[in-house]
Every structure is written in structure tokens, then in C-alpha cells.
Amino acid sequence: EAAVVARPDPRWGETPCAFVALKPATSATAGELIAHCRSLLAHYKCPRSVVFGSLPKTSTGKIQKYVLRELARQPTSLQPDPSV
């Protein structure tokens, strides 16, 4: 499961930030996910940050994007992958 929200960026204004919940017994790195996105999307549409963990949901199972936007605004909670 994944969700992407805008993250403030001093150079571009905003950049995509992905929040990813992996299935049990699976693994992926931020670099692998970003590389996969780059193979399918324009460079500016690809996330620069990937955060792994469970996604906040409503009682009906929808992802609470406003919570993710708040997390993405916190500069200490996310660091862009320097290799991208």
C-alpha cells in the first residue's frame, strides 16, 4: 500500500513524498522504489523521500492523507535520499 503527498521544498516549492506499507515478508529500499518510479514516470513526478511504515486510516479504511501531509511538513521526520 502506498500514498504520495506534497512535501515543502526550498528549491521547487513542493516535491512528492511517498509513504509505503510493505506486505509481510517483503522488502524494498527507498532507492529501489524511486528507481521503479523513474522507469515509469517523469523525473519531477518521482518521490525524493520514501517513508516506510503503517499508513493512518479512517474507520472506513481510507488513508488519512492530511495526517501524511502533516508528517511530510516536519523537516526532521524525513530526509530525502541523497543518491537521487
Which CATH number do you get for residue 56? 3.30.300.30
Domain that holds residue 16: 2-73
In a domain, 31, yes or no: yes
pLDDT of residue 67: 96
pLDDT in tens, 46-73: 999 999 999 999 999 999 999 999 999 9
In a domain, 78, yes or no: no
In a domain, 82, yes or no: no
Give the integer Cα–Cα distance in Å for 58 and 68: 13
Position 50, amino acid: V
Radius of gyration of the chain (CA): 13
Could you tell me which residue, 81 or 47, shows the higher pLDDT? Answer: 47
Vertex 65 angle, CA 51 and 3, to 5°: 45
Predicted model pTM: 0.83
Q: Which residues contact 21 (CB under 8 A, 6 or more apart)?
A: 1, 2, 52, 53, 54, 55
In a domain, 12, yes or no: yes
Q: Looking at the 3D structure of the chain, how many domains does it have? A: 1
pLDDT of residue 74: 86
pLDDT in tens, 13-36: 999 999 999 999 999 999 999 999
